[in-house]
A and B are shown apart, each in its own frame.
Chain A
Amino acid sequence: MSKDTEIHVTTRILRPGTQENRFEIAESASLLEVMQEAARRASETLLPNEDAPLDTFHNIQHHDDVRPAIDDLDQAVGEYVKEKHTTRDFAITLVLAFCVNTRWAVATAAQMSPREILALPSINLDFQSYTLYHQGSTEPLPLDTPLTIPRGLCLEAQRDGKYGR
Chain B
Amino acid sequence: MGADVATIKEEVAGLTARWLKVSLIEANGQEYAQILELAAPSPPWDSSSHDVLIAIPAAYADGAALDAFYLRLPYKYKDGAHPQVGGAVISVGGSQWQLVSWHYPDGKPWERGRDSLESHIMHCKGFFSHRGAVNDY
B77 at the interface (CB under 8 A from A): no
Given A102-B18, A131-B132, CB of A161 within 8 Å of CB of B118: no
The interface-forming segment of A32-40, A54-62, A122-130 is A122-130
State A140–B126 Cα separation when bound (angstroms).
12
Contact A159 B19 (CB under 8 A): no
| Minimum CB–CB distance for A50 against chain B, Å | 14
B84 at the interface (CB under 8 A from A): yes
Residues of A within 8 A of B19 (CB): 102
A156 at the interface (CB under 8 A from B): yes
Residues of A within 8 A of B131 (CB): 133, 138, 158
B78 at the interface (CB under 8 A from A): no
The residue among A103, A138, A140, A162 with the most chain B CB atoms within 10 A of its own CB is: A162
Residues of B within 8 A of A133 (CB): 131
| Minimum CB–CB distance for B106 against chain A, Å | 7
Residues of A within 8 A of B84 (CB): 163-164
State A141–B38 Cα separation when bound (angstroms).
22
Residues of A within 8 A of B15 (CB): 102
State A53–B66 Cα separation when bound (angstroms).
32
Residues of B within 8 A of A165 (CB): 101, 103
Residues of A within 8 A of B18 (CB): 48, 102
State A165–B106 Cα separation when bound (angstroms).
9
Residues of B within 8 A of A158 (CB): 119, 122-123, 125-126, 131-132
A121 at the interface (CB under 8 A from B): no
Contact B133 A159 (CB under 8 A): no
| B86-137 interface (Cβ within 8 A of A) | 101-106, 108, 110, 114-115, 118-119, 122-123, 125-127, 129-137
| A125-164 interface (Cβ within 8 A of B) | 125-126, 129-131, 133, 136, 138, 140, 156-164
Given A126-B114, A165-B101, CB of A160 within 8 Å of CB of B136: no
Contact A161 B122 (CB under 8 A): no
Which single residue of chain B is at the shortest CB-CB distance from A130?
B119
Contact A160 B133 (CB under 8 A): yes
Contact B115 A159 (CB under 8 A): yes
Contact B123 A163 (CB under 8 A): no
B39 at the interface (CB under 8 A from A): yes
- Choose from A126, A157, A161 the contact partner of B127 (Cβ within 8 Å): A161
A-B contact pairs, 20 of them (CB 8 A): A102-B18, A103-B118, A125-B119, A129-B114, A131-B132, A133-B131, A138-B130, A138-B131, A140-B132, A159-B115, A159-B123, A160-B105, A161-B132, A162-B134, A163-B135, A164-B84, A164-B103, A164-B137, A165-B101, A165-B103
**A interface residues with partner B (beta carbon < 8 Å):** 48, 101-103, 125-126, 129-131, 133, 136, 138, 140, 156-165
